[in-house]
Structures are given as C-alpha cells and as structure tokens.
Chains A and B, each alone.
Chain A
Amino acid sequence: MAGNEDVVAAIAGIEPGGALAGIVAGRADIMALTQKTHDGALTPDNPGGLSDAERAALAWRVAKINDHKGFEDHFEAMLEKAGAPEQAARLADIWFNGGSDARARAIIRHVDLVAHSPKDATRHDIELLQEAGLADADIVRLAELVAFVSYQIRVAAGLQLMQRFA
C-alpha cells in the first residue's frame, strides 16, 4: 500500500487546494493516524487468526451494514487485492450466515451485532466466539476491525456532509 494514500480523503472527495482540504489540514496528524490504523487493521504485519482477505471481506460487510458505497467499493477492491479466496469472500455476502461452518457463523453473527447494534452486546456474545474456537487475541482483533471501520466510515460521512458547506 502506498505510504501517501489517504482513504478518507479519497472517499470524501477532498480535493487538494479545496476549501475542505484546508480545514482537514489543521488535523493532519489525526488523518495520518487514521490511515495508519486502517493499514494496521486491514493489512497487519501479524494477522493472527484473521487473514487479510477475511479482514477485507468483513470490512466490506461493515460498509454494507453502514450503507456507505464509497467504503463498499474500497473494501471490495482490497478483497480483490488479497486474492478473494472463496472461503473469505463469502464473509462479505450479507445473505450468508456462515452455513455449516461454525467459525464463520460465529464471526458473521458478531460482526453484524457490533457494527449495527453494539448496545445489545453481552458477555454471551464473546462466549459464542470462544466456543467457536476463536482465541481471545483474535476476538480483540475482530472487535478492533469492526470498531475502527465504523469510526472511519463516520469520519468520511461527516466530511461528505461538510462538503456542501465548504
């Protein structure tokens, strides 16, 4: 991934030299850290029990749940880049619930819950992941992925609303 890429700026349509670019430049440190976290969540050096393809597919799923087309396209492209293996790619299918694959079923259930209605999450939801064989470290990785993408989508959505006033 190119070091100077800024996914939020690209998706929110922030043009160099534009009015919004000037505002965002005042928080350049935050935008740079956002991009670094994106890379750490989607393409980490040590992926643990969640492959890059699975991460891209699940992030695409979160973008669909948030109804954000720009991020849907972005994560779909990342999934393609990761080779889009069938086992991982199907995690992005909003009509797929994991079928007979207990691990996929538990992951999909949890991603949908945390993305859409985190207020309803309980201890039991973590126990279901543990029963499906996920290590605690991978449960944290999964939570960070969904939580971070939820953040990034909101930053872009807010900036897109600002565009009309810039």
Chain B
Amino acid sequence: MSRTVHDFTTDIPVWKPYVTPLDLAEASTEQLEALKVTPSNNKVSDYVLVLAHDVETLKHRTPLFNAVMYNRDGLSRAEREIGAVGASIVNRCIYCAAVHASRYNQLTKDEDVIAAIFANGVDAQIGPRLKAILTFAVKLSKCPSEANADDMAALVEVGLGKDEILDLILSVSLFGWANRLMHTLGEPVSA
C-alpha cells in the first residue's frame, strides 16, 4: 500500500494526480505535438498528461523549463538546482524538492548540503556562496516576495556575476510556477 509522502526526501516519490490526466486517445493534434508523442515515444508521465489539458501554456512551458535549467553558460547546473530546492521548500513541494535535491547530489557527489538544507532550511550550515543563493531563493519564493537589496548585495558579495544572478532568479521563479502545479494538482506517494 503506497502512502502520501509528507517529509522532504531525496527518494523520488511517485506523483498521483487529483484530476484525470488527458486520455491520449482523445488528444488533439496540438496536444500530441506539445507532448511530442510519436509511435516510438508513447510513454508520457501523468504529470505531463495533466498539464496537457492546458496545451497553450504547456507547449511553451516545456522548452522554457529546459532552457532555464540546462542552458549553457551562466550559473552552474548544481546551483540552479539549489534555486529550485529553495522554492520547493517554501512551497512544500515534496516531489519537486526530491527530484532537484537528488539531481544536486548527483551533480556534486556531495549529499551534505542537501541534508543540511532539509534539516535546517535557511539556517543550514553551508558555505557562504550557497548560503547566499539559498537565502535569496527562499525569500523570492515567499508571497509577496521578501527578497531585498541586501539579499541581492549578498549574491554580488559572494561572487555571483550578473548573468549568474539572472539564472538564479529564473530557476527560483520557475519553481514558484512548477510547485504551484505539482503540489496542488496531485500528491507524492511512496514508490
């Protein structure tokens, strides 16, 4: 019997939707195009099938997501993941936090940072650069945003370039979006 996961973890749960995912047999041409469904690629996650109900945002959202997280140059991929994790903690999106925390661990081969963040949030004992990144991520994710000029100055202080700061703003904001879909339209259950 699978059960809902309520605590932060790096074990990626299964996402169960609260609404009925799109039935591929009833999908429009536009929906199939956005889903990139082909005879050789017909495995689409429930999450994406749920979002396919609103194809006019999904078709832009997928390339936007990939650009924010994987574009070349700018902020390192691992530090973008910290932006994602910071937002996911504020919004308590257990699923997003698990996926992006484990990706950070894979990229850095270091599990201590995430363990500290899961245990103590913004009070985590981590290096100054990651601390400034996490603090900014958490404060920008509040509603309304609580990020201020001091938080921005702290990013400059620890050495982030302007291109890196932009990438951080984008990854944090992106998860303000993703968390509001993933955590409100379904729930994480133990795999």
Listed stretches A41-49, A73-81, A82-90, A99-107; interface member: A41-49
- Is A143 a contact partner of B180 (Cβ separation < 8 A)? yes
CB-CB nearest in chain B for A67? B144
Task: Return the 8 tightest CB-CB contacts between A and B, nearest first.
Answer: A158-B169, A147-B180, A151-B177, A119-B92, A40-B56, A154-B173, A140-B53, A137-B53
Given contacts A37-B61, A118-B179, A151-B177, whether A159 and B169 have CB atoms under 8 Å apart is: yes
- CB <8 Å contact, B140 and A37: no
Instruction: Determine how close the nearest CB of chain A comes to the CB of B90; give it in whole angstroms.
Output: 7
Q: Which residues of B contact A40 (CB under 8 A)?
A: 56-57, 59-60
Q: Is A11 at the interface (CB under 8 A from chain B)? A: no
Counting CB contacts under 8 A, is B42 at the interface? no
Of B54, B90, B141, B184, which one neighbours A125 at CB under 8 angstroms?
B184
Which residue of A44, A137, A161 has the most chain B CB atoms within 10 A of its CB atom? A161
Contact indicator B71/A157 (Cβ below 8 Å): no
> Which residue among B50, B91, B143 has the maximum number of chain A CB atoms within 10 Å of its CB?
B143
Q: How far is the CA of A159 from the CA of B168 in the complex (A)?
A: 11
Given the complex of chains A and B, what is the CA–CA distance between A121 and B91 in angstroms? 10
Report which A residues bind B (CB closer than 8 A): 19-20, 23-24, 26-27, 29-30, 33-34, 36-37, 40-41, 44-46, 48, 65-68, 113-119, 121, 123, 125-127, 136-137, 139-141, 143-144, 146-148, 150-155, 157-159, 161-162, 164-166
CA of A115 to CA of B177 in the docked complex: distance in angstroms?
10
- Contact for A33 among B50, B64, B152, CB less than 8 A: B64
Stretch at the interface among B7-15, B100-108, B118-126, B159-167: B159-167
Write the nearest CB–CB distance from A106 to chain B, whole angstroms: 14
By a beta-carbon cutoff of 8 Å, the part of chain B in contact with chain A is 18-20, 50-51, 53-54, 56-57, 59-61, 63-64, 67-68, 71, 73-74, 90-93, 140-141, 143-145, 147-149, 151-153, 156, 162-163, 165-170, 172-174, 176-181, 183-185, 187
Q: How far is the CA of A19 from the CA of B165 in the complex (A)?
A: 14
- The B interface is mostly helix, strand or loop, or mixed, namely helix
Would you list 22 pairs from A and B whose C-beta atoms are within 8 A, ordered by A residue?
A: A23-B166, A27-B170, A48-B54, A65-B144, A115-B143, A123-B18, A136-B20, A137-B53, A140-B50, A143-B180, A143-B185, A144-B57, A144-B181, A150-B143, A152-B173, A154-B169, A155-B169, A158-B165, A158-B168, A162-B152, A162-B165, A165-B153
Contact A23 B185 (CB under 8 A): no
Q: Which one of B60, B91, B145, B187 contacts A119 once the chains associate, using CB atoms below 8 Å?
A: B91
Which residue of chain B has the shortest Cβ distance to A120 in the bound complex?
B92
